[in-house]
């Protein structure tokens, strides 16, 4: 599978970058649509997103590099070659949230309300970005039989034929799961106003739940000793989501009784 979509003179435009760009563009469109419904100034929200993107991008790359440090110390030239893959969503989200915490304090914006608006957009971008993993033939799972993979479209079968064996298309599992989470969070966002933090809680809980089980099928997980880092982070994400959901519901009840 050719990772290069087309050439612009001497510049090779990779599918990985195009798909990430598409995910960001559609995410910004969702943010634009939801910001007014969330009671926030659309222009201020879009500005926050634009300023946030470089921090998220650097965080995603740094996170991946740190967990593959032995390789990158031997090949430091590969650190900047993001078109080869290697953007970890957990690092990107963490860096983006830290940036937004300080940014919203400075701009006097509501931090939780902003995260509620961003949550559906982020999971949509993740769903699209997983197809970049498919093109690069990364983030796949263990070996499966030809009978199993034959249930998938021909182009998926071809892309998952790696080193003579078929593999679980875990990128596809996560992409489909993320699209389902996006649809659910968008539905909640378009209903009557929810207690602040509820949409964020839904993102943390549902994305982490799916990632926890899908990660167990993968063969290229970032590891911390014998532990798959993504599964550990997913457990923390589920716990954080449930705590935020509980606090949001309690706050919603208190507002109704006031």
At residue 147, does pLDDT exceed 70?
A: yes
- What is the arithmetic mean of pLDDT over 14-31? 94
Question: Rounded CA gap, 248 and 257, in Å?
Answer: 14
Helices 229-257 and 89-107, axial angle in degrees (round to 10): 30
The residues that bridge with 144 in the sheet, in sequence order, are 166
Rg of the Cα atoms in the chain: 19
pLDDT tens digits along 209-244:
999 999 999 998 898 889 999 999 999 999 999 999
pLDDT band at 253 (very low <50, low <70, confident <90, very high): low
Domain regions of the chain by residue span: 4-257
At residue 255, does pLDDT exceed 70?
A: no
pLDDT tens digits along 65-124:
999 999 999 999 999 988 888 889 999 999 999 999 999 999 999 999 999 999 999 999
pLDDT tens digits along 162-209:
999 999 999 999 999 999 999 999 999 998 777 889 999 999 999 999
- The pLDDT, as a whole number, for residue 258 is 46
pLDDT tens digits along 23-73:
999 999 999 999 987 678 999 999 999 999 999 999 999 999 999 999 999
Q: pLDDT: is 27 or 258 the higher one?
A: 27
At residue 8, does pLDDT exceed 90?
A: no
Alpha helices in 137-228 (DSSP H): 146-149, 154-159, 170-190, 198-215
Residue 226 DSSP label = T
């Amino acid at each position: 599978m050719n990772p290069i979509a087309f050439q612009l003179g001497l510049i090779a435009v990779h599918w990985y970058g195009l798909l990430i760009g598409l995910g960001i563009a559609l995410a910004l469109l969702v943010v634009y649509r939801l910001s007014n419904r969330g009671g926030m100034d659309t222009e201020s929200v879009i500005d926050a997103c634009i300023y946030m993107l470089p921090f998220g991008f650097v965080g995603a790359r740094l996170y991946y590099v740190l967990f593959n440090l032995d390789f990158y110390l031997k090949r430091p030239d590969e650190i900047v070659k993001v078109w080869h893959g290697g953007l970890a969503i957990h690092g990107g989200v963490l860096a983006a949230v830290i940036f937004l915490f300080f940014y919203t304090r400075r701009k006097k914006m509501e931090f939780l309300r902003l995260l509620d608006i961003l949550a559906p957009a982020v999971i949509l971008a993740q769903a699209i970005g997983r197809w970049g993993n498919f093109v690069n033939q990364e983030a796949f799972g263990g070996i499966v039989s030809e009978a199993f993979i034959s249930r998938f479209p021909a182009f998926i079968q071809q892309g998952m034929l790696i080193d003579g064996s078929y593999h679980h298309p875990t990128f596809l599992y996560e992409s489909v799961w993320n699209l389902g989470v996006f649809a659910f969070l968008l539905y909640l966002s378009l209903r009557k106003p929810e207690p602040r933090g509820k949409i964020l809680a839904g993102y943390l809980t549902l994305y982490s739940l799916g990632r926890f089980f899908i990660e167990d099928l993968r063969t290229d997980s970032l590891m911390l000793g014998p532990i798959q880092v993504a599964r550990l982070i997913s457990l923390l994400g589920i716990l954080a989501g449930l705590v935020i959901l509980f606090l949001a519901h309690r706050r919603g009840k208190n507002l109704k009784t006031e």
